[in-house]
Structure 1
Amino acid sequence: MISASKLKSVDFYRKIPRDLTEASLSGAGLSIMAAFSMMFLFGMELNSYLTVSTSTFIIVDKSTDAEFLRIDFNISFPALSCEFASVDVSDVLGTSRLNITKTVRRFSIDPNLIATGSEFHPGPVPKINRHGDDIEEEYADGSVSLTADNFEKFARQYPILVVNFYAPWCYWSNRLKPSWERTAKIMRERYDPEMDGRILLGKVDCTEEGGLCRRHHIQGYPSIRIFRRGSDVKENHGHHDHESYYGERDTESLVVAMEILVAPVPREFHKQALDDKSGQTIDTSKRPAPLTSGCRIEGFVRVKKVPGNLVISAHSGAHSFDPSQINVSHVISQFSFGKQLSPQMLSEVKRLSPFVGGSHDRLTGRSYITNHADDVNANATIEHYLQIVKTETASRKSSREFKLLEEYEYTAHSSLVHSLHIPAAKFHFEPSPMQVFVTEVPKSFSHFITNVCAIIGGVFTVAGILDSILHNTIRLMRKVELGKQF
């Protein structure tokens, strides 16, 4: 066996008897300074060890062509009616979808962007096959011309008032005019205003009665509105509660629709309802008219990951629009791409990539308002150009497991464009073929321990050297003072 004396011979840390050592004030001061230095450097190293370290790479987007990109939005249009507001998407591959309603909701709003009721259900775009009578023949005016001066009088007088808001220059209005006048004449014969008086058909020329048409939120021509006595509530901030007719526009269909409207109204004289000889079911296609001239559109759409457009404008296949009267001013509450991250996931992204995140929804809170009283802003289309970059963050859950977090950031540039076509709010988006990849870099605990040992040993050694220099310097100065130098 190895003896204790031989084992002591390999001692790296030989001890000096304590009575052979001498303490000094300079050594004590350096020892205190060294201790504080060790504590400070240890704290810095510990903070560095606990701080997240990441690496950022620019790589080709790994998404496949079959993947879709989700666009979430919440946009308020103070002057665009929900009746004709349409959300359309298209892309460079030729894909086009018009009037998306399945994932989009609409709410009528007042000029202060406050919702005036429940969700507005515009329904699908009506497909009208008969826009008027096919046979052209002489006809006489049967409907009553309404103006701002006599409109309220007729609305209070008749239980059912059906009004055709039209424009003389409108193609669809001119197609409707003959059948509308014939229908009005037939209804006057069946329900004489003096003997019965349950229904009256009227018309309003919106080029002459612009204020009256704006009060009833008319933005497309022709608009057929159904007013029922007692249901047109004006005390509720001026809102009008009535319906719009979207059925066929030939005389036969209009007469059947009018009869259906009259049927539930109490009558003093029995009238024979129209017998539909063909036996087919007539769809009157009625739905509530917009309460106000504004609309909030919210929801989401899915588009392919290729350059494309999201367009919001007034759209109808059976109505005409006056471009100078369409105002697409809007306030954006949300416009973002990709999946919605939870607060916890968003916090994790910010922790790992504080300089990358923060621009995923640049348009939030932005207002784009044009004053139509100024001719310069008439027929104004507002366009937004968005360039999208995908950021993928790899968060380390364990030593071998990562969790990928996806976020889409974009830049936004907006402009006002004058056009002869119907104004629209256009969002042009262009996904980048590159993506930012951020990964968390783990730190070795052994590296941390090594640095801590280096700090302690290094500070101890440097302090020892300084103490030796200081001690020898003091001894030399004392010898000089005693004259023992030479």
Structure 2
Amino acid sequence: MENILSLKGLSERIRSLDVYPKVLEDFRIKTFGGATVTIISGLIMSVLFISELNYYLTPELREELLVDVSRGDKLRINLDVVFPHISCHFLAIDAIDVSGEQHINIEHNVFKRRLSLKGEPIEKPEKDNTIGSSNRTNKELVKAVTERVTTTTLDPNRCESCYGAENERRKCCNSCDDVRMAYSEKGWGLNNLQDILQCKREGMSERLDNFDKEGCQVFGYVEVNRVGGNLHIAPGKSFTKHHIHVHDLSLNDFQRFNLTHKIRHLSFGRTVAGKTNPLDGTVQIAAEGSMMFQYYIKIVATVFAKADGQTLQTNQFAVTRHRKPIQDTLTESGMPGVFFIYEFGPVMVKYSEINRSFMHF
């Protein structure tokens, strides 16, 4: 009994500390305006609470500049470029860096998709790539099938003629490209492909006649040394002659090459959600015949350090565009094509996620 009385006395003493006056229920007046103010105040407090909670839960992003020491690594170049007026067969993808390393006629991890002039993918069975268009006459189809059978039954150990262009290194020319390379190494021109058995067998004349009747989508990725260099997509078979990188345009009137293109995507390194790439969606129209398009790219290494300890390494870049018409491929004015010329900045940008203090919340 004494314990109950002591607790009641303690409760009375605590209650006596309440300095706010209390109004009896009979004297209270409840109005619509007062209820409105209460509701609005409650909403404002809820919004402020949610806003502060979201601010507390969102890590702070802190930026730092560091010296880039990642020169020995590899660089991945992701690309997706559409050429609406040139056939895939006449486009070569090459990469050259300042150390002298060359990747010529890249096919690994880079794909070419044939497009119609309307930009729609041309999907045909593999056998149709040799036979050609379904609109051919019966006579043409029979001829194409005959040539295909002849090709598939050729002796793999054969040694066919280079038509006078043989040398110590190249004794045999078993394909049209072999003959073209042999002639290029000699500095000779190759004009009439119908006289070359290998070219006639592969239907090269038909390809030349139809090189601007299709489009091409080039997509995939290329891994290169992490040093300055250039990646280019250009018409003509590429090769090295006297330590110089050249493209064979002798079989075509290079002024007919329409290098209008759309860069659907170009990035360097890993893809990070929310990162923008300056060249995505770029469209360039070649209105003056054969054109050379150059994109000078400055790459800055970027590191994202997450609050949970994970690290993502990628790259950001800035770009300057340049274009010029090509009048003569025999001069030093350049060559038709799309060139991505890149170099690296000396600094690295590091973005670090930092959790906010609960005391601040």
TM-score, length basis structure 2:
0.62
Amino acid at match of 2:233: I
2:315 aligned residue: 408
What SS class does the counterpart of residue 111 from structure 2 fall into? Answer: strand
Alignment of 1:432 onto 2:345: yes
Residue pair 1:82, 1:108 contacting (<8 A) in 2 also: yes
- 1:318-467 aligned at under 5 Å gives the runs 319-321=248-250, 322-341=253-272, 346=273, 350=274, 357=275, 359-360=276-277, 362-371=278-287, 377-396=288-307, 401-419=308-326, 420-421=328-329, 422-448=335-361
Of 315, 334, 337, the match for 2:237:
315
By how many angstroms is 1:381 displaced? 0.6
Change (3 A) 1:440 1:387: same
Change (3 A) 1:173 1:429: closer
Change (3 A) 1:86 1:12: farther
Residue pair 1:106, 1:295 contacting (<8 A) in 2 also: yes
1:212-262 alpha-carbon deviations (Å, 9 max, x no partner): xxxxxxxxxx896436xxxxxxxxxxxxxx6349xxxxxxxxxxxxxxxxx
Partners of 1:19 and 1:328 in 2: how far apart? 85
By how many angstroms is 1:335 displaced? 1.7
Of 125, 132, 150, the match for 2:163:
132
1:243 aligned residue: 203
When structure 1 is superposed on structure 2, of 101-110 and 17-26 the one drifting more is 17-26
1:419-466 alpha-carbon deviations (Å, 9 max, x no partner): 433312101123333344333332344543xxxxxxxxxxxxxxxxxx
Paired residues in the alignment total: 292
By how many angstroms is 1:71 displaced? 1.1
By how many angstroms is 1:92 displaced? 2.5
What SS class does the counterpart of residue 89 from structure 2 fall into? Answer: coil
Amino acid at match of 2:305: A
Alignment of 1:60 onto 2:66: yes
By how many angstroms is 1:85 displaced? 1.7
By how many angstroms is 1:40 displaced? 2.1
1:254 aligned residue: none
What SS class does the counterpart of residue 402 from structure 1 fall into? Answer: coil
Residue pair 2:90, 2:211 contacting (<8 A) in 1 also: no
By how many angstroms is 1:301 displaced? 0.3
1:226 aligned residue: 200
Partners of 1:68 and 1:60 in 2: how far apart? 19
Amino acid at match of 1:364: D
Amino acid at match of 1:392: V
What SS class does the counterpart of residue 40 from structure 1 fall into? Answer: helix
Change (3 A) 1:32 1:390: same
What SS class does the counterpart of residue 48 from structure 1 fall into? Answer: helix
What SS class does the counterpart of residue 92 from structure 2 fall into? Answer: strand
What SS class does the counterpart of residue 83 from structure 1 fall into? Answer: helix
By how many angstroms is 1:171 displaced? 9.3
Change (3 A) 1:447 1:243: same
Of 86, 105, 111, the match for 1:105:
111
2:96 aligned residue: 90
Change (3 A) 1:102 1:55: closer
Of 34, 49, 52, the match for 1:48:
52
Q: Which runs of 4+ in 1 moved over 6 A?
A: 2-12, 19-22, 26-32, 170-173
Partners of 2:360 and 2:338 in 1: how far apart? 57
Larger Rg: 1
Partners of 2:197 and 2:232 in 1: how far apart? 23
Partners of 2:115 and 2:23 in 1: how far apart? 93
Residue pair 2:66, 2:350 contacting (<8 A) in 1 also: no
Amino acid at match of 2:17: Y
By how many angstroms is 1:48 displaced? 1.8
Structure 2: gaps of 5 or more residues: 131-158, 167-175, 240-246, 330-334
Partners of 1:19 and 1:103 in 2: how far apart? 81
By how many angstroms is 1:72 displaced? 1.4
Partners of 1:43 and 1:97 in 2: how far apart? 58
2:144 aligned residue: none
By how many angstroms is 1:109 displaced? 2.8
By how many angstroms is 1:333 displaced? 2.2
1:149-175 alpha-carbon deviations (Å, 9 max, x no partner): xxxxxxxxxxxxx9xxx9xxx997957
Partners of 1:35 and 1:385 in 2: how far apart? 59
Change (3 A) 1:439 1:30: farther
Amino acid at match of 2:164: D
Partners of 1:114 and 1:391 in 2: how far apart? 37
Over the aligned positions, Cα root-mean-square deviation in angstroms equals: 4.7
Residue pair 1:172, 1:319 contacting (<8 A) in 2 also: no
Amino acid at match of 1:310: L
By how many angstroms is 1:73 displaced? 1.3
1:216 aligned residue: none
